[in-house]
Structures are given as structure tokens and as C-alpha cells.
């Protein structure tokens, strides 16, 4: 059978299979399937049931909305989940023996997260609550609301994907009676609380909060163990950094949680921390393990994919994800610090759950030629069985290119890793153009995962080079930290050395037809590249940074991210200007397409406007495309029609100039 070439519109044919959750007895599981409704231009997600023994899959929910965060009750008789059937996410419960899902909450501002109480009679949740209001208060209806002024006091007043943050509204923790629907407020004070865990005996909560009066430069997180009956608090951790997502061991003695300190600012490796409730001490379980805990992969297919920081077994062993050498693998650990890989190389494990006795796991797995399915995995023997098959038809019908893993030495002899894709339907002896893709972050990584955009470029007849330059996760703490204060230095050399390496090894690449593109940090690097070399015949910059000086004040994270990444702030404008691609606009000779979202608060569109007007005023070959109703995540979670248009703009530009 001759397979067809992949198309941009294949986004509509793909299914995102995520969030496997095993039942307490390990005999059943639920998961979510997300797809794009082309006609309605929206994402739809449903809940599915899996019989682990037989492999039988049954759809449990229907409709035109999204389901997320499925969770079993302790007795295995019910599954709760979030759904946006009524605009805001609310909690729904479905009986495992059949029947319709029942809406449990009707909160004015919806539910952010929830955890079952072990008794099954209550569900703990967190949600946004206006100061002085109750969770049960109805939304005040205003027929024609007059515009009012937004008074800004602090520096954290806006966020990408949210816009201006609501004032006087805080994330609070409450409890709802499953039978009666009665709601009680548990947390106190005007602070943002996160619900982390409920003990197996039902007597304690773990929650996190920052109670600092001025949070502009306070990035500490207080993790608190709370006695539900007395509300007595025990602080188990309070340090600068990003911490949370806690899990009790089955005997309730230990609490595992995620942590990333501020030693290397936001480049610090994520770690697993353990708190011993008997000895009242904590330690970093992965302190001597030079790889980040969690999933650092960047791609564009998986929708709503979440994974726990850890999963305990009854023997008090742990499983967690690790991003390492281009893979996201499942790892196993003991409390004394022994850590071993538990899943194979060459995969992206983007979701998982482990049976409580540790006999097997359900893994959501992707690789460069597999969009993603759920596998039953024997953690002892390594035997693996695919149990969902939603993308089988797509894989059988469409020609997908298996990339070649590469490694090379950069200009300073640093080892750099990446991948090279040949064009689809490659013919020996022909010359092909090559496009270099650069990921965002920069503290993320390309991985052994399905990437629709990369496959599309290969289907259009391009070779594709994508590498993890210094600053990327997955190789070492030293490697990921190496880009800070040196944007456009060693990272630029890493990308260019990659081009030299593949040109030396692959005669099919036409060195006169090179293109480059990337978004966010990858957009910065695209801008930097075209200002420092004329090797490329075409470039597309997306959601980029062009001017660090203005970025400091206009980005939702600019005032601290600039210091974290560039090592300075507005006290050293000269350094910021030295590392700003806009400074080198006069050098640009490469035709540059500039793509940017109107509602991007992370890298605001003024970054693109400055670059475009500057280049245009200098008579450079450039074009500017603005996307309405889109934020920084257009390429991943944006409106489907705009995602298709974005891909058309990219491929159209390269077709014109390459």
C-alpha cells in the first residue's frame, strides 16, 4: 500500500490519548481522548473506560465539550472528572456500573482542581472565590456592564492566556458533600491556595500557599500539612522556587512532592522531595541525579496531557518521569535513593499510572512516528502491549519520517544532540532544501515524540534539522544553565555547528537552500541568526523576542525573567541592547516572515511590531502576519483554524524562497 503525504489538515484526523488512571483494584482504568471538531473549530475531549485484562475500551461521555482530570473514588465505584459543559469547569461524577454523569458543583468561578476524600462521601477542591463571597453565591447578572478602570498596584497583574488578572479574587480550598452538594470553605485569608493531597486516612490535607504581603519578587512556596479537624498547620517546606504536587504514601508516613529551587533560577532541575511525617524532616531524593524530573518535551500534538510527579507503590517505592537524552522515561526509586530507568529509550512517556503492588503500569507513549497511545507495561520483564488504537488508521495511511538521531561537537567541543529528518519520499541522488527548527523555552527540549509540524515540513519535501542547544533540558544541570547571560553566544554556535555537521555528512542537503524557524526563544534565535549570518535563504520568526529593553516592561514575566536569563535588568541597558536582535536589523539580508499572536502576553506583539517596522524602514524583505484571538500557545492549543493558517504561512514562505 502506497501511503499518502501528511497534510496540515491532518490535525483534524489525530487523536490525543492522555491521562491513564488505574482503578484501586488495578482491573480497570479511565483515560481521555481529545480531538478537533473541524466544523465547530474547537477541541472536544471525552472520558473512556478500559478493562485492563481484556483490553476492551468503552466510551463513557459524549457531547461537544472537554473532560479532564479523571479520578477514581477509593472504593472504585465512582469516577469524578472536570468538564466545561457549562462554560466553567465543574466537577461531575459517573458511577462505574453505568448511568449518566451527574454534575456535582455549580460554582460561580468553576473548579481548578479536586481530590477525593478516602471515605468517598466528600470531595476536596480549589477554585477562585471573590473576597467576601461564598462558593455557593450565584453570579451577579449585569445587563450592560459599564467599563471600569483597572488599577494596578503590583507587578504580577497580567498573564498570558488570561489577560489582566481578576482583582480581589483568590484561589481557595473547599469541601463538598457528594450526597447533598453542601459546600464548606476551608482555607482562610486573601491568598492563593493550591490543593495538593489528601491523606489515605482522611485526616490531613497538604496545601501550598504564598502568604507574603508583597509577592512581586517573592517566589517562595510554603507547603503545609493541615489537620482537617483542628486546622493545625505544620510547615513541611518553605523555600524560594516552584514546589507542589504532593502525594501521600499508602501508609501516610511519607509525602512526596515536586521541587525546583532558584539556584539556577528557572533553569534548575526539577526534583522529587520526600517529607517524613514521623521524623518531621525532608530530603531531596534525586539530589545526586543529574537530570530533571518531569516532562520537558516540546511538541504540538498532545492536548491536556498531565502526569503525576510521582506514583507510590504499597512497598513505599516510587515511579516518576525523567527527561534525559531526548527521552522522557519512567524511572523507579527507593526511599534510600536508588534510582533506575523503568521504561525503554527512544520514547516519550507523557502520562502514566502504576498498579499499587508495582506489577505493571499504564503508559501513554509517543515516538516520532506514533502520535500516542496507551500501553500496558510490565515493569519487571519490560513486556509491552498496546491497549488503545485510536491513531492506527492515521499511522497506516500516512507516510511518517523516522528521524535519525545525531550528535556533534560545537565550536567549544561541547557535545550537542538532535535529530535529522530526510524529506518524505526521499530519493537517493537528489538534492533537497533543509529547514532548521529551534525550540522555545529555552529550558525545554526536543524529544523522541511525534511532532506534526516537523512531519509536515518533511512531507513538503524539506529535510528538517532540530537540535537541543545549550540551555535545553535533558543533558545536565551545567548544560541547561549554560545559556543564561549568553543568549546569542554559545547557543548560536551550537545551532550553526549542527548545520555544518549535517552538511559534512549528508550530500543530499542543498547548502544553498537553507531555512530557519522557531518560536518564543526559538523566535529570538531566528531573529539573532538572520542578524549574524546570511547562510539562510528564508526565515520565519514566531512569537519572538526582538528587544530585551522593552520586553522587560511589557511581558507578563519580563521584569524577573530578564534578570534570570540575561543576568541583569534595566540598570544595565547596554547589555540588554547587546543581546537584542533588533540592534542587528541592518545586517539582515534573509527574507523574514514575522508571525505573532495579538493576545500574546508572554512575548507581546510589540516585539514583532518593532522588528517589522525597523526592517521595513530599511528596505528589507519582510512580511508581518498577526493572529487575532490567539496567545503565546497558538501552535499548540490555539484555535484549530488559526493553527492551520499558521502552518500555511510557514510552508508558503519557505516554498516561495527555498
Catalytic residues: 520, 632
Render 234-290 in DSSP notation, one character per residue.
EEEEEEEEEEEEEEE-TTSSEEEEEEEESTTGGGSPPEEEEEETTTTEEEETTTT--
Tell me the CA distances in angstroms from 404 to 407, 418, 445, one per residue in order: 10, 8, 16
The phi-psi region of residue 382 (left if phi > 0; otherwise alpha if psi is between -120 and 50; otherwise beta) is left
The enclosing H or E element of 226 equals strand 220-227
* CB-based burial, 439-475: b 16+ in 10 Å, e otherwise: bbbbbbbbbbbbbbbbbbbbbbbbbbbbbbbbbbbbb
Whether omega for the bond prior to residue 371 falls within 30 degrees of 0, making it cis, is no
Query: How many DSSP H helices and E strands does the chain contain?
Result: 11, 39
Strands in 88-95's sheet, in edge-to-edge order, are 67-72, 78-86, 88-95, 102-103
Give the residues across from 50 on adjacent strands: 29, 57
Nearest to 473 by CA among 286, 368, 325: 325
Alpha-carbon span 324 to 36, nearest angstrom: 31
Alpha-carbon span 127 to 113, nearest angstrom: 7
Three-state SS at 643: helix
Report, in this order, helix, strand and coil percent for the chain, each rounded to 5.
20, 35, 45
Alpha-carbon span 351 to 362, nearest angstrom: 8
Alpha-carbon span 266 to 289, nearest angstrom: 18
Amino acid at each position: 500500500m502506497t501511503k499518502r503525504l501528511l497534510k496540515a489538515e491532518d490535525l483534524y484526523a489525530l487523536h490525543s490519548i492522555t491521562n491513564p488512571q488505574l482503578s484501586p483494584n488495578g482491573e480497570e482504568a479511565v483515560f481521555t481522548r481529545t480531538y478537533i471538531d473541524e466544523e465547530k473549530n474547537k477541541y472536544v475531549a471525552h472520558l473512556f473506560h478500559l478493562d485492563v485484562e481484556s483490553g476492551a475500551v468503552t466510551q463513557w461521555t459524549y457531547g461537544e465539550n472537554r473532560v479532564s482530570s479523571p479520578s477514581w473514588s477509593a472504593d472504585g465505584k465512582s469516577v469524578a472528572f472536570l468538564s466545561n459543559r457549562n462554560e466553567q469547569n465543574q466537577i461531575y461524577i459517573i458511577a462505574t456500573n453505568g448511568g449518566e454523569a451527574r454534575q456535582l458543583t455549580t460554582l460561580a468561578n468553576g473548579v481548578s482542581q479536586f481530590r477525593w476524600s478516602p471515605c468517598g462521601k466528600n470531595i476536596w477542591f480549589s477554585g477562585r472565590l471573590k473576597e467576601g463571597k461564598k462558593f455557593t453565591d450565584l453570579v451577579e447578572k449585569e445587563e450592560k456592564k459599564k467599563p471600569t478602570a483597572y488599577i494596578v498596584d503590583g507587578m504580577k497583574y497580567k498573564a498570558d492566556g488570561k489577560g489582566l488578572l481578576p482583582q480581589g479574587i483568590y484561589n481557595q480550598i473547599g469541601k463538598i458533600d457528594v450526597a447533598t452538594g453542601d459546600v464548606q470553605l476551608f482555607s482562610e485569608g486573601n491568598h492563593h491556595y493550591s490543593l495538593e493531597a489528601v491523606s489515605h486516612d482522611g485526616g490531613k490535607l497538604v496545601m501550598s500557599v504564598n502568604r507574603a504581603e508583597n509577592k512581586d519578587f517573592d517566589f517562595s512556596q510554603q507547603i503545609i500539612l493541615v489537620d482537617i479537624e483542628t486546622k493545625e498547620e505544620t510547615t513541611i517546606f518553605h523555600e524560594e522556587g516552584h514546589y507542589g504536587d504532593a502525594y501521600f504514601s499508602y501508609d501516610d508516613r511519607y509525602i512526596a512532592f515536586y521541587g525546583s529551587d532558584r539556584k539556577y533560577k528557572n533553569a534548575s532541575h526539577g526534583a522529587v522531595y520526600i517529607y517524613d511525617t514521623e521524623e518531621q524532616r525532608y530530603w531531596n531524593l534525586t539530589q545526586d541525579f543529574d537530570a530533571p524530573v518531569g516532562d520537558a518535551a516540546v511538541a504540538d500534538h498532545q492536548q491536556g496531557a498531565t502526569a503525576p510527579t510521582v506514583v507510590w507503590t504499597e512497598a513505599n517505592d516510587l515511579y516518576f518521569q525523567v527527561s534525559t537524552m531526548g527521552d522522557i522515561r519512567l524511572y523507579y526509586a527507593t526511599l534510600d535513593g536508588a534510582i533506575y530507568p523503568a521504561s525503554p529509550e527512544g520514547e516519550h512517556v507523557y502520562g502514566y499510572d502504576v498498579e499499587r503492588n508495582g506489577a505493571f503500569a499504564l503508559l501513554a507513549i509517543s515516538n516520532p512516528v506514533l502520535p500516542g497511545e496507551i500501553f500496558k507495561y510490565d515493569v519487571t520483564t519490560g513486556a509491552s502491549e498496546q491497549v488503545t488504537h485510536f491513531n492506527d488508521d492515521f499511522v497506516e495511511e500516512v507516510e511518517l519520517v523516522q528521524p535519525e538521531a545525531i550528535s556533534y561537537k560545537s565550536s567549544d567541543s561541547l557535545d550537542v544532540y538532535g535529530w535529522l529528518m530526510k524529506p518524505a519520499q526521499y530519493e537517493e541522488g537528489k538534492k533537497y532544501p533543509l529547514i532548521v527548527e529551534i525550540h522555545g523555552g529555552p529550558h525545554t527540549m526536543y524529544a523522541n515524540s511525534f511532532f506534526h509540524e516537523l512531519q509536515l515540513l518533511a512531507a513538503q519535501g524539506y529535510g528538517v534539522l532540530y537540535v537541543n542547544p545549550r540551555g535545553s533540558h535533558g543533558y545536565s544541570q551545567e548544560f541547561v544553565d549554560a545559556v543564561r547571560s549568553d543568549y546569542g553566544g554559545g547557543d548560536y554556535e551550537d545551532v550553526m555547528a549542527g548545520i555544518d555537521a549535517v552538511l559534512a555528512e549528508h550530500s543530499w542537503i542543498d547548502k544553498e537552500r537553507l531555512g530557519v524557524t522557531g518560536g518564543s526563544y526559538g523566535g529570538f534565535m531566528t531573529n539573532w541568526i538572520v542578524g549574524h549570518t546570511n547562510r539562510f535563504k528564508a526565515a520565519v520568526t514566531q512569537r519572538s523576542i526582538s528587544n530585551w529593553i522593552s520586553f522587560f516592561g511589557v511581558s507578563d514575566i519580563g521584569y524577573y525573567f530578564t534578570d534570570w536569563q540575561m543576568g541583569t535588568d534595566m540598570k544595565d541597558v547596554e547589555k540588554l541592547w547587546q543581546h537584542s536582535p533588533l540592534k542587528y536589523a541592518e545586517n539582515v539580508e534573509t527574507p523574514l516572515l514575522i508571525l505573532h499572536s495579538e493576545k500574546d502576553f508572554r512575548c507581546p506583539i510589540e516585539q514583532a511590531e518593532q522588528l517589522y517596522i525597523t526592517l521595513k524602514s530599511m528596505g528589507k524583505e519582510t512580511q508581518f502576519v498577526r493572529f487575532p484571538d490567539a496567545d503565546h500557545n497558538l501552535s499548540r492549543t490555539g484555535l484549530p483554524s488559526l493553527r492551520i493558517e499558521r502552518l500555511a504561512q510557514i510552508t508558503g514562505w519557505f516554498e516561495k524562497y527555498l
